Amino acid sequence: MLEYPHIHSKTMFNLDERYHSYLSGDKKLRIDGVEEKVKAYGYTDNGKEIDGYYLTTENYQLKYNMDGLFLSMKALREVAQPVA
């Protein structure tokens, strides 16, 4: 566990420990019965403090709070923004 008292009042867990093997290995998430390869992960914030984290798979972006509870899932086609 990592501690960042100047960023977040709770002890943070290490995303690399939890998800790096999904990036570099054969591990996949199962979403609605379909295996999805994890492409990226990182923390989210509310502008003042870290409030959760995200996982990006081949087709979805999943969001979780700092307790690891699932918040939302969006298809990447809904998340993508046009390039100027």
Domain interval for residue 19 = 15-79
Residue 62 counted as domain residue: yes
Q: What value does the mean pLDDT take over residues 66-73?
A: 94
Q: What is the pLDDT of residues 9-24, one digit of tens each?
A: 566 789 999 999 999 8
Domain assignment present for 60:
yes
Residue 81 pLDDT greater than 60, yes or no: yes
The secondary structure of 29-64 as a DSSP string is EEETTEEE-EEEEEEEE-SSSEEEEEEEESSEEEEE
What pLDDT, on a 0 to 100 scale, did the predictor assign at position 10? Answer: 61
Residue 4 included in any domain: no
Work out how many domains the chain is built from and give that number.
1
Structure tokens at 39: 């492409």
Mean of the per-residue pLDDT values of the chain: 85
The answer as to whether 7 is a domain residue is no
Q: Is position 84 within any domain?
A: no
Does residue 72 sit within a domain?
Answer: yes
Specify if 49 maps to a domain. yes
Q: What is the pLDDT of residue 41?
A: 96
